[in-house]
Amino acid sequence: MKKLIEYLIEFTRPELSIKPEIVEREKRFNEQNFNREEWVLNHTYLCEGDLKELEKHPDYRDSGVSFVFAKYKSDQPGKRSKKVVVKVEDNEIETLENKLKLALFVRGANSGVFYKTYKKGKYLFGEAVPATLSGE
């Protein structure tokens, strides 16, 4: 019963749309600088825990910020969006994480929380809830 309720809650959540302006901007940036995608991958963070765990992310903390704030990325303030789910055919976790980070980034998020991976058939899946991580 609990799984059904969780499924229904997730099913009714709004989906965070892909932002075409980000996609176009990134295409232009990638034409100018081939390292741009690598920058995006290095500055998009995945966390298996919730927002409080994301605020402790060591890669972000190493950037020299003193105050860190994390929140869900959503079109509706205070609400969380549906999970972003990606799949890859090969079993490379790095490929999966890169694809998930790019999928989060084009939705305007720089992080994903409740990150998990699982295998179904010949595919490896990754999912995360869009979030943003900022600091001063």
Whether 135 has a pLDDT exceeding 80, the answer reads no
Short-list 81, 119, 120, CA closest to 103: 81
Tokens of 102: 């790019």
In angstroms, the CA 109 to CA 96 distance is 17
pLDDT, tens digit, 9 for 90 and up, residues 86-133: 999 988 999 999 999 999 999 999 999 999 999 999 999 999 999 999
Whether 84 has a pLDDT exceeding 90, the answer reads yes
Q: Which residues contact 13 (CB under 8 A, 6 or more apart)?
A: 79, 80, 81, 82
Alpha helix locations (H) across 43-132? 51-54, 58-61, 93-105
Stronger pLDDT, 58 or 65, i.e. the higher one: 58
Rounded to two decimals, the pTM is 0.86
Short-list 128, 87, 124, CA closest to 105: 128
Domain boundaries defined on the chain: 2-135
Average pLDDT for 18-36: 85
Q: Measuring CA to CA, how many Å separate 126 from each of 42, 56, 95, 99, 130?
A: 18, 21, 10, 9, 13
pLDDT of residue 136: 66
Quickly state the pLDDT bin for 4 (edges 50, 70, 90): confident
Short-list 99, 105, 89, 106, CA closest to 127: 99
Contact, 96 vs 108, CB < 8 A? no
pLDDT of residue 67: 79
Average pLDDT for 70-94: 89
Q: Which residues contact 103 (CB under 8 A, 6 or more apart)?
A: 84, 86
- pLDDT, the chain, mean: 88
pLDDT of residue 51: 92
DSSP-derived 3-state class of residue 3 = helix
